[in-house]
């Protein structure tokens, strides 16, 4: 995504992460993980779970917040004889809460490649996600309102890790936008990126307040996308970064 000459931004702090566990899981059991059709995923075989001090944590890539937190937990538990197993492909906001609540098999990447990190072949024992997703899964609301078996009352928070991030509204300086309200009032054909994957209802609520939606932006001749793409030009960004 190209955002040159950023002229203004608004940043608000958000506290993100929680370690959580499915309290119904007494110990993890061996299971089969489904692989991608084009290449064989790298799997770690063996016995996993709390009983053998090798629970599997659902996380993200090592450079991602959820993955970095999982590696910190792994190193912190080593002196106590625990060998935390990390699934680096088991993150995804609401998805992570669903995986833990179901004690799902750790998922290798959808499109395996030679550079992938290995995935432990067993059920996920605990995970890391945004606190809002854990709460919504427990209550059976928002993203989880239509999930079968909701609410997920067996979930338990075991730690809250406060990691500051920022809610950003950025515009390219040549757009002469002083407020998001200008887009609607002037019917500007902006090229907007509004990220929805982090922060729950924050971005949709901000857009709704200013009367902005995909339909509205496109009606002005603009474009509206909900994800990053370095090869796609944008002049307005709304979301967490």
Q: Structural domain of residue 213, as residue ranges?
A: 6-13+164-240
- If phi > 0 it is left, if psi is from -120 to 50 it is alpha, else beta; for residue 206 that is alpha
Q: Give the tens place of pLDDT for each residue, 114-173.
A: 889 999 999 999 999 888 888 999 999 988 999 988 899 999 998 887 766 788 999 999
The answer to whether residue 159 sits within a structural domain is no
CA–CA gap between residue 16 and residue 183 (Å, rounded): 30
Let me know whether 149 and 172 are in one domain: no
Judge if 170 and 148 occupy the same domain.
Answer: no
Choose one of 153, 185, 203: the last residue of a domain: 153
Q: In the chain, how many domains are there?
A: 2
Model-wide pTM > 0.75? no
Residue 158 is assigned to a structural domain of this protein: no
Assess if residue 1 is contained within a domain. no
For every residue of the chain, DSSP letters joined together read: -B--SEEEEEEEEEEEEEEEEETT-SS------PPPSSSPPPEE-S--BGGGTB-EEE---TTSHHHHHHHHHHHHHGGGT---EEETT---THHHHHHHHTTPBPPPPSS--TTPPPEESSB--EEEEEHHHHHHHHHT-GGGTTSTT-S-TTEEEEEEEEEEEEEEEEEEGGG--SSTHHHHHTT---EEEE--SSSTTHHHHHHHHTT--HHHHHHTT-EEESS--TTSB-SEEEEE-
Within this chain, do residues 31 and 143 fall inside the same structural domain, yes or no?
A: yes
Lowest-pLDDT range of 9-23, 65-79, 80-94 = 9-23
Query: Domain check: are 140 and 205 in the same one?
Result: no
Q: What is the CATH number of the domain that holds 104?
A: 3.40.190
Of 89, 122, 153, the one marking the end of a domain is 153
Q: Are 120 and 77 in a shared domain?
A: yes
Tell me if 206 sits within 8 A of 237, measured CB to CB: no
Instruction: State whether 28 and 144 are in the same domain.
Output: yes
The per-residue pLDDT for range 128-139, each reduced to its tens digit, is: 988 888 899 999
Of the three residues 104, 125, 153, the one that is the final residue of a domain is: 153
């Amino acid at each position: 995504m190209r955002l040159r000459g950023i002229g203004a931004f608004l940043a608000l702090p958000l506290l993100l992460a929680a370690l959580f566990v499915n309290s119904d899981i007494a110990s993890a059991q061996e299971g089969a993980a489904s692989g991608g059709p084009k290449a064989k995923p790298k799997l770690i075989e063996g016995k996993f779970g709390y009983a053998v001090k090798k629970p599997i944590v659902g996380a993200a890539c090592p450079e991602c917040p959820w993955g970095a937190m999982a590696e910190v937990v792994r190193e912190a538990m080593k002196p106590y004889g625990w060998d935390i197993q990390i699934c680096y492909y088991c993150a995804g906001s609401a998805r992570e809460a669903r995986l833990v609540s179901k004690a799902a098999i750790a998922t290798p990447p959808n499109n395996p490649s030679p550079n992938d990190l290995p995935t432990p072949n067993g059920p996920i024992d605990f995970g890391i996600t945004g606190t809002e997703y854990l709460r919504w899964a427990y209550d059976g609301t928002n993203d989880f309102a239509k999930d079968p078996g909701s609410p997920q009352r067996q979930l338990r928070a075991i730690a809250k890790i406060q990691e500051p991030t920022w809610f950003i509204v950025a515009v390219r300086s040549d757009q002469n936008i002083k407020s998001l309200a200008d887009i609607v009032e002037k019917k500007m054909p902006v090229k907007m990126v509004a990220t929805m994957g982090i922060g729950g209802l924050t971005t949709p609520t901000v857009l709704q307040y200013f009367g902005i939606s995909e339909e509205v932006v496109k009606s002005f001749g603009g474009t509206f996308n909900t994800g990053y793409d370095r090869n796609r030009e944008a002049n307005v960004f709304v979301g967490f970064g």
